[in-house]
């Protein structure tokens, strides 16, 4: 299908972009989910604000925390030696996002803001207790994963807000991580998945497929509220496997 | 005379000459064709309901200058033809829905504009007044659209005398063919008729279908095929949308193009499979099969395409499989559900027959406490030609050799531990291929080239490579000197794994005639009865208890397609068909909900296996030449789709200790089966 008519604008600065987004606009951040939705006419925004050319939104920087610009390509995250070494969970998760072609166009911020409950990056970032830095023309705020992810394809972002940066705290000393999922085929959306961070005196798990948003918990993982017995069993097995891989 | 004496090109693994062009992106598919002046692009208004009365269609002002056509403007129906003995109700597919819609996605109105995007915009302003009606989705509750009965031998006597009767019920869901290039047509009025480019399997059936739908003499419909990006059976006859586009072009005197998108292909392209069967197998005390009875219920959907009856007919006729069963009775009921129609999809009735029979044979072995291989060996057809009680004649084969090779290649395994259950399954198949006729012309050019022209319609198989080998072998030239062309000759079509046996034999005869009679050109027409390929497939599967996830540990494919012209291309067909068949076995299922809505209308919800999931596959050939054509060839394009689901099915049921599960064998189903009580004896 072809998208319904829309206006297209590609600002070059963040301030311009913030001035353009609003009720009838959708930011375009790689387009790996939004463009199919446009083509199916499930999304019919009056205006697309393409963030492709906005300066200063694509970077991976590490100090005491990891800071990822929202327009950073998933492929760049995947190829970052720094990320693989110090935040291996992100490396483990991003490799499972779609196919190579999708990761070379798709962005980290786009995946987060799209909030697909089957997406890997929101789950990994939830396990890592990431902070999400948001800007609007009138101000800025920072959200936790629990505050950001509200439901299926739904976040706490207001129409005039843009996710600009994701900040990931350092892992506890001697932490080990694992991301495992069950998908029909390599690159397909996962049916269920689990991200774990294990360190002496520390454990965190985030679940994919347990609810409409990533579920963060301590071990043992809270699976009792999942109605479908198969999904419950699958998640339990995936959590076990993730723990085994991270141990 | 040996192959080497004749140049030795037949039987050699020559690389595909098609690939360099395709891999370089130089193919020209339908949507790549240069657009003629004044071209209009088509989009369709499709029914959101599975069943509804159409009270009226109105075009709102928002449609602008787009042209809108309904069944009142473009009446007509696609042709229907029935295999021998099949009785069908009157239900041809209308070009556009006249007065009622009978499946979700059925085309109601054609919208033409200067681009596809504009046509889609305008389609939103075509207001169709529907009166929704209750949809019939369950084939068991649907009216009858088709009936076929065939009986041979003393079936009732055999069942009365049987020491043991195995009764089984199997269901195979609908699937989509999912060719990489969806369907499409570019129709241009020319002279007294139409010139048409169409993404189709062959010209013969495209001409016939369009001429019938448009009410034109076939001579007035000139069809050419661009490169075709796969079909898997789904482009064997023109789509109603293609006929509508052609009819509009004729009416307007302007060229019209319809290049469908993936969503349309999911919704409206005919689907495959969708059959269930009650199978009864009568055996004597020694494990000899005395008779088989099968009642097959086929979910035909809303209308009959020209070849819709072929898959259930083929399925029924193959219900004796590779076994020397003296008596058989088959009944097919085709149900008219309010769903998109069904038609051939790679295998087309053969995979259903193999699964229905081979899963039943394994069940019989379990019930009798016999080794399933031993039960098979006791009952194999061993003398050819073999007339089945249902009236087909198997031309040649060596079924036991196929079993032996498959078992040796797969390495059977069976175990059960705390983590996994592992099982092995073997399945035999016999498939019909060939039949009817094809034509060929072979000409010598002054510059030393040889031009071979065939009536076949290639869409990915490698026909150019294969036909060039046959000509080179016969004339004693290098294949590089042979140029292969298609079109302009009469033929039956490219389907049912028939091209090597039929078009290949026609080319062989033309080349032989040229060699024998001299001159610069020779023509040949080759006609034959059906040939019957066969094979044995075997699978070892491992199912994880905790998740139900199935892993194919090893898969063995042994195919007897008669004489193999090009083992490289043949193995390519086996690999492609096997991975296709494995996807069908493990996860493909086109699902309609209780309201008749297709809930698997994109690749988000319908997955195909990828290279990453391709198993350890071991392929081998047994070559029992067919006596019915000069090449001795049969067909190889479908064996994997036939053998794999049955072999994997038997392996799954072996691993599950006989607990019953119908395909697709998804992790959720397997987990639930493992959680349920075991059945015995196993």
Q: What is the CATH number of the domain that holds A119?
A: 3.30.465.10
Cα of B70 to nearest chain A Cα, Å? 21
Identify the DSSP state of B563. S
Within this chain, do residues A164 and A190 fall inside the same structural domain, yes or no?
no
Size of interface A-B (CB pairs under 8 A): 52
User: Beta strands B67-69 and A190-199: pairing type?
Assistant: unpaired
Q: Does A117 map to a domain?
A: yes
User: What's the angle, vertex CA B366, arms to CA B365 and CA B369, rounded to 5?
Assistant: 80
- B634-653 burial string, b = 16+ CB within 10 Å, else e? bbbbbbbbbbbbbbbbbbbb
| pLDDT over 80 (residue A93) | yes
Distance from CA of A237 to the nearest CA of B (A): 6
pLDDT for A222 beyond 90: no
Q: Which one of B602, B607, B668 has the shortest CB-CB distance to A230?
A: B668
Residue A123 located in a structural domain: yes
B139-170 pLDDT, tens per residue?
999 999 999 999 999 999 999 999 999 999 99
Per the domain annotation, does A135 fall within a domain? yes
Q: What domain range includes position A215?
A: 176-246
Are B337 and B274 a contacting pair, CB within 8 Å?
no
Give the count of beta carbons closer than 10 Å to the beta carbon of residue B298: 29
What pLDDT was estimated at residue B676?
86
By CB atoms closer than 10 A (0-12, 13-18, 19+), residue B20 is: exposed
Q: Using alpha carbons, list the distances in angstroms from residue B173 to A155, B124, B623.
A: 38, 33, 33
| Domain end residue (candidates: A123, A145, A169) | A169
Q: Is A154 domain-assigned?
A: yes
The string over B62-75, giving b where at least 16 C-beta atoms fall within 10 Å of a residue's C-beta and e elsewhere, is: ebeebbbbbbeebe
In a domain, A1, yes or no: no
In whole angstroms, what is the distance from residue B390 CA to residue A129 CA?
A: 68
Residue A156 and residue A81 in one domain: yes
Residue B508, SS3 per DSSP: helix
CATH architecture observed for domain B33-134+178-268 = Alpha-Beta Complex (3.90)
Measured CB to CB, residues of chain B less than 8 Å from chain A are 116-117, 120-121, 124, 261, 263, 544, 546-549, 587, 602, 604, 607-610, 612-613, 667-668, 671-672
Task: With beta carbons under 8 A apart, name residues in chain B contacting A3.
Answer: 117
ipTM of the complex: 0.94
Nearby residues of A7 by Cβ (< 8 Å), 6 or more positions away: A46, A47, A48
* Closest residue to B613, CB basis, from A39, A185, A238: A185
CA atoms within 13 A on the CB side of B455: 26
Residue A2 domain-assigned? no
What is the C-alpha separation between B476 and B112, in angstroms, rounded? 53
- B248 contact partners, CB below 8 Å, separation of at least 6: B40, B42, B67, B69, B74, B110, B112, B256
Q: How many whole angstroms separate alpha carbon B502 and alpha carbon B434?
A: 6
CATH number of the domain residue A11 falls in: 3.30.43.10
Test B117 with A3 for CB contact under 8 angstroms. Answer: yes
Residues A182 and A112 occupy one common structural domain? no
Is the pTM value of this prediction over 0.80? yes
A182 vs B contacts (CB less than 8 Å): 547, 549, 667
Tokens of A52: 């492709």
Q: State how far the Cα of B303 lies from the Cα of B97, in Å rounded to an integer.
A: 11
- The answer to whether residues A89 and A29 belong to one domain is no
Using CB atoms, pick whichever of A1, A187, A233 lies closest to residue B120: A1
Asked if residue A216 is part of any domain, the answer here is: yes
The domain boundary residue, chosen from A149, A169, A189: A169
Do A108 and A195 sit in the same domain of this protein?
no
A45 and A64: one domain? no
Q: Please give the structure tokens belonging to residue B222.
A: 């000139």
Instruction: Identify whether the C-beta of residue A97 lies closer than 8 Å to the C-beta of residue A77.
Output: no
Give strand pairing partners of B273.
B174
Residues A163 and A202 in one domain: no
The partner residue sitting opposite A186, judged by closest CB among B610, B668, B672, is B610
What is the mean predicted confidence (pLDDT) over A182-203? Answer: 95
| A89 part of a folded domain | yes
Backbone phi, psi, residue B146, to 5°: -155, 145
> Average of pLDDT values for A140-168?
98
Same domain? A157 vs A196: no
- By percentage, how much of chain B surpasses pLDDT 70? 98
Closest of B81, B311, B113, B78 to residue B211, by C-alpha: B78
Burial (CB count within 10 angstroms: exposed 0-12, middle 13-18, buried 19+), residue B157? middle
The reported pLDDT for the residue numbered B681 is 46
- CA-nearest residue to B602 within chain A is A40
Indicate the Cα dihedral angle B606, B612, B616, B622, nearest 10°. 60
Would you state the pLDDT for residue B677? 80
| Mean pLDDT, residues A71-96 taken together | 98
How many domains, chain A? 3
Strands B617-621 and B107-113: unpaired
DSSP label of B309:
T
- Cα separation, B654 vs B419, in Å, equals 16
**To which residue do tokens 């709102």 refer?**
B60
Predicted local confidence at residue A221, as pLDDT: 85
- The beta-carbon neighbor of A230 closest among B587, B613, B671 is B671
Residues A105 and A128 in one domain: yes
Residues B604, B349, B264: CA angle, nearest 5 degrees:
30
- State residue B160's pLDDT score: 98
Give the position of tokens 């007035």.
B220
Please tell me the predicted confidence (pLDDT) of residue B381: 98
Omega within 30 of 0 (cis) for the link into B143: no
What is the DSSP pairing of strand A25-28 with strand A47-50? parallel
CATH architecture of structural domain B4-28+434-529: 2-Layer Sandwich (3.30)
Cβ-based interface (< 8 Å): residues of A facing B: 1-5, 39-40, 182, 184-189, 230, 233-234, 236-238, 240
Burial class of residue A228 (count of CB atoms within 10 Å of its CB; 0-12, 13-18, 19+)? exposed
- Under-50 pLDDT residues of chain B: 1-6, 681-682
For residues A146 and A148, give the distance between their C-alpha atoms in angstroms, rounded to a whole number.
6
* Residue labelled with tokens 């963060």: A216
Check whether residue A132 and residue A65 sit in a common domain. Answer: yes
Q: Are residues A49 and A64 in the same domain?
A: no
State how far the Cα of B358 lies from the Cα of B644, in Å rounded to an integer: 11
Instruction: Choose the final residue of a domain: A169, A197, A224.
Output: A169
| CATH number of the domain residue A237 falls in | 3.30.390.50
Domain coordinates in residue numbering, chain B: 4-28+434-529, 33-134+178-268
For B120, the closest chain A residue by CA position comes to A2
| Distance between CA atoms of residues B440 and A100, nearest Å | 45
Are β-strands B327-335 and B289-299 bridged in parallel, bridged antiparallel, or unpaired?
A: parallel
Question: Which of the 8 DSSP states describes residue B206?
Answer: H
């Amino acid at each position: 299908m072809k998208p319904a008519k829309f206006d297209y604008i590609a600002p070059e600065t963040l301030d311009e972009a913030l001035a353009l987004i609003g009720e009838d606009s959708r930011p375009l951040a790689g387009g790996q989910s939004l463009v199919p939705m446009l083509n199916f006419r499930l999304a019919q925004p009056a205006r697309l604000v393409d963030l492709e050319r906005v300066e200063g939104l694509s970077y991976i920087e590490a100090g005491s925390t990891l800071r990822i610009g929202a327009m950073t390509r998933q492929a760049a995250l995947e190829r970052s030696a720094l990320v693989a070494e110090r935040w291996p969970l992100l490396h483990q998760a991003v490799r499972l996002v779609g196919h190579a072609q999708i990761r070379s166009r798709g962005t980290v911020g786009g995946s987060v803001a799209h909030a697909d409950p089957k997406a890997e990056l929101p789950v990994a970032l939830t396990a890592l207790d990431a902070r999400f830095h948001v800007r609007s023309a009138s101000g800025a705020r920072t959200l936790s994963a629990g505050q950001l992810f509200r439901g299926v394809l739904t976040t706490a972002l207001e129409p005039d807000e843009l996710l600009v940066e994701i900040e990931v705290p350092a892992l506890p000393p001697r932490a080990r991580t694992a991301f495992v999922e069950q998908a029909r085929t390599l690159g397909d959306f996962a049916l269920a998945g689990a991200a774990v961070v294990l360190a002496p005196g520390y454990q965190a798990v985030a679940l994919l497929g347990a609810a409409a948003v990533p579920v963060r918990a301590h071990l043992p993982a809270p699976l009792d509220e999942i109605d479908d017995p198969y999904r419950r069993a699958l998640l339990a097995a995936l959590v076990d496997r993730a723990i085994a891989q991270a141990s | 005379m040996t192959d080497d004496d004749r140049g030795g090109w037949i039987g050699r693994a020559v690389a595909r000459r098609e690939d360099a062009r395709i891999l370089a992106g130089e193919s020209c598919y339908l949507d790549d064709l240069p657009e003629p002046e004044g071209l209009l692009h088509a989009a369709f208004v499709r029914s959101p309901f599975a069943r509804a009365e159409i009270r009226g269609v109105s075009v709102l002002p928002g449609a602008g200058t787009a042209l809108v056509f309904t069944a009142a403007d473009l009446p007509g129906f696609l042709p229907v033809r029935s295999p021998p003995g099949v009785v069908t109700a009157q239900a041809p597919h209308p070009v556009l829905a006249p007065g009622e819609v009978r499946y979700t996605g059925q085309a109601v109105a054609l919208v033409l504009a200067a681009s596809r995007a504009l046509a889609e915009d305008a389609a939103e302003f075509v207001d169709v007044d529907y009166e929704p009606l209750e949809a019939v989705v369950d084939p068991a509750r649907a009216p009858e659209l088709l009936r076929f009965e065939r009986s041979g031998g003393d079936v009732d006597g055999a069942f009365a005398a049987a020491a043991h009767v195995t009764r089984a019920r199997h269901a195979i869901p609908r699937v989509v063919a999912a060719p990489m290039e969806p369907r499409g047509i570019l129709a241009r009025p020319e002279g007294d008729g139409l010139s048409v480019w169409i993404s189709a399997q062959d010209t013969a059936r495209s001409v016939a279908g369009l001429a019938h739908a448009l009410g034109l003499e076939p001579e007035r419909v000139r069809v050419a095929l661009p490169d075709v990006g796969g079909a898997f059976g789904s482009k064997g006859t023109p789509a109603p949308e293609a006929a509508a586009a052609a009819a509009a072009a004729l009416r307007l005197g302007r060229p019209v193009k319809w290049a469908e998108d993936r969503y349309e292909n999911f919704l409206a392209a005919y689907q495959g499979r969708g059959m269930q069967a009650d199978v009864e197998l009568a055996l004597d005390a020694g494990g000899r099969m005395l008779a088989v009875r099968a009642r097959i219920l086929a979910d035909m959907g809303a209308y009959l395409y020209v070849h819709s009856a072929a898959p259930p007919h083929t399925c029924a006729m193959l219900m004796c499989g590779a076994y020397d069963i003296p008596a058989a009775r088959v009944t097919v009921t085709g149900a008219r559900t309010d769903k998109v129609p069904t038609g051939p999809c790679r295998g087309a009735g053969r995979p259903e027959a193999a699964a229905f029979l081979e899963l039943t044979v394994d069940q019989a072995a379990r019930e009798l406490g016999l080794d399933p291989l031993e039960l098979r060996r006791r009952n194999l057809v061993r003398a050819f030609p073999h007339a089945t009680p249902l009236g087909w004649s198997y031309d040649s084969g060596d079924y036991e050799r196929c079993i032996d090779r498959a078992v040796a290649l797969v390495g059977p395994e069976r175990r059960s531990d705390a983590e996994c259950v592992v099982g092995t399954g073997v399945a035999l198949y016999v498939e019909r291929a060939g039949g009817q006729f094809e034509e060929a012309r072979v000409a010598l050019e002054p510059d030393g080239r040889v031009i071979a022209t065939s009536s076949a319609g290639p869409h990915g198989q490698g026909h150019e490579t294969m036909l060039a080998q046959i000509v080179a072998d016969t004339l004693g030239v290098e294949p590089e000197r042979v140029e292969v062309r298609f079109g302009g000759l009469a033929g039956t079509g490219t389907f049912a794994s028939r091209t090597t046996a039929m078009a290949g034999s026609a080319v062989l005869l033309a080349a032989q005639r040229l060699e024998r009679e001299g001159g610069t050109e020779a023509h040949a027409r080759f006609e034959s009865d059906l040939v019957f390929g066969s094979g044995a497939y075997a699978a070892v599967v491992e199912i994880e208890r905790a998740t139900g996830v199935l892993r194919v540990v090893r898969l063995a494919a042994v195919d007897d397609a008669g004489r193999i012209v090009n083992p490289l291309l043949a193995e390519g067909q086996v690999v492609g068909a096997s991975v296709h068949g494995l996807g069908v076995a493990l996860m493909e299922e086109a699902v309609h909900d209780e309201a008749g809505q297709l809930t698997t209308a994109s690749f988000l919800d319908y997955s195909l296996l990828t290279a990453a999931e391709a198993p350890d596959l071991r392929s081998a050939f047994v070559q029992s030449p067919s006596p019915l054509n000069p090449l001795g060839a049969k067909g190889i394009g479908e064996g994997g789709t036939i053998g794999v689901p049955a072999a994997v099915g038997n392996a799954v049921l072996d691993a599950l200790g006989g607990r019953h599960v119908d395909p697709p064998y998804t992790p959720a189903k397997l987990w639930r089966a493992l959680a349920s009580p075991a059945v015995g004896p196993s």
